[in-house]
Amino acid sequence: MKVLVIHNRYRSSAPSGEDMACDAEAALLARHGVEVVRYERTNDDIGSHLAAAFETVWSRRARLDIAALLRRERPDVAHVHNLWYRISPSAYAACRDAGVPVVQTLHNFRMCCANALLLRDGLPCEECVGSTPWRSVRYGCFRGSRLATLPVAFSEWLHASRGTWSSGVDRSIALTDFALERFVAAGLPRERISVKPNFLADPPSPAGGARAGALFVGRLTSEKGIPVLLDAAARVNHRDFVLEIVGDGSLRNAVGLAAQRSGGRIHVAGAKCRDSCLEAMRHAQFVVVPSICYENFPLAIVEAFACGTPVLASRLGAMAEIVEDGLTGRLFAAGDAADLARAMTWLTDHPAACAEMGRAARAVFEARYTADMNFDVLMSIYRQVSPGASP
């Protein structure tokens, strides 16, 4: 079997979980004997914003590139991950003309939301779901700019009105049931959406011995709940409480200032490689995922589960679906620093309960999120659109 993987990489200065998920899935396919051909562009190459605006709507270059690749390689399936902003939905047209079926993983909500997060003014927003996207222009949802939002909204409107998201894709993949419902509300046919979560290849074994501290791993940005986390950490009144923050982003200075004022209770580790992040998770008492946006499928949760570490997450969107309150972690009211502080205090004060939830988290990982299980589900999806294909 041969699969063409199509992916628009994010800027290298802002590493994305989508890039990691795409790379992991391509490696998984290759490890199982599937021939993988890749077509990639990167947002590092964006020069003129005007040119990028046109490419967002329809990239002639990407269509020609992909058409040539399809003629040369003749894949059984084209698997699209991200199209924004250098590839565009013109990729679907190239595949349709070549008679190659398309599978699309819906890593974010870009098809129905200008900022892809379903988030506005710090709160979930679904005003454009199942509707026209012009409100996003009024609000300046993309990069806080009405002008920058306009081409994104126009692309969403054009392709929704032309039925591109349905006619150009044979099978869509949602990462959670929660996300599936949002996409159905946005107009995708339910019967052509499969649910397949992300996975973790080569998971570490849980660490033995005592664990200590809370851990955050991710981008230091507002949608990831950093202001809420810092506020909550300042409220925790427990002599054993320590929070380690791993990552980088626009709020790094605010995080550094909070650490200076914390009296040693907040440690800032900066960005770390994946192996170092996993090692930190193996020794943490619990991992905190305080996002104020819905999220689609936070890799940090699966990584924590693999490490046998419970997760304290916002009771919101996909997080509330993946983390079972009281079994594999705890949930708190999204955006509520006081509730988060109470939960962090409780977990710090109950190491035995944390250990038990960590064991349950590892069991859930082994039942749902292993690479072999993911491969089986993915191949089943490929066979639905290309019945004769086999590894």
pLDDT tens-digit map of 342-357: 999 999 999 999 999 9
Give, in degrees to the nearest 5, the angle at Cα 102 between 99 and 108.
155
What kind of fold does domain 2-199+370-385 have according to CATH?
Rossmann fold (3.40.50)
- The answer to whether the CB of 309 falls within 8 A of the CB of 278 is no
88: its two tokens: 């565009």
**Of 55, 41, 51, 54, which is closest to residue 7 (Cα–Cα)?**
41
List where CATH 3.40.50.2000 sits in the chain: 2-199+370-385, 214-368
Listed in sequence order, the DSSP H helices in the chain are 17-31, 49-57, 60-73, 90-98, 134-139, 146-161, 164-167, 177-185, 226-235, 252-261, 274-283, 299-306, 317-322, 337-349, 351-368, 371-385
Please name the residues in contact with 327: beta carbons below 8 A apart, sequence gap of 6 or more.
Answer: 357, 360
pLDDT tens-digit map of 118-164: 999 999 999 999 999 999 999 999 989 999 899 999 999 999 999 99
Is the N-terminal amide bond of 10 cis, ω within 30° of 0?
no
pLDDT tens-digit map of 85-118: 899 999 999 999 999 999 999 999 999 999 999 9
- How far is residue 201's CA from residue 306's CA, in Å, rounded to a whole number? 10
Unique residue bearing structure tokens 């693999």: 306
- How far is residue 357's CA from residue 26's CA, in Å, rounded to a whole number? 32
Query: pLDDT tier at 43 (50, 70, 90 boundaries)?
Result: confident
What kind of fold does domain 214-368 have according to CATH?
Rossmann fold (3.40.50)
Inform me whether the pLDDT recorded for 235 exceeds 80: yes
DSSP 182-199: HHHHTT--GGGEEE----
pLDDT tens-digit map of 244-302: 999 999 999 999 999 999 999 999 999 999 999 999 999 999 999 999 999 999 999 99
Enter the pTM of the model.
Answer: 0.94
Query: pLDDT tier at 16 (50, 70, 90 boundaries)?
Result: confident
pLDDT tens-digit map of 305-339: 999 999 999 999 999 999 999 999 999 999 999 99
Unique residue bearing structure tokens 């996975």: 199
Beta-bridge mates of residue 37: 4
- The answer to whether the CB of 106 falls within 8 A of the CB of 173 is yes
**Of 127, 142, 105, which is closest to residue 20 (Cα–Cα)?**
105
Tell me the torsion sign for CA atoms 86, 92, 96, 102.
positive
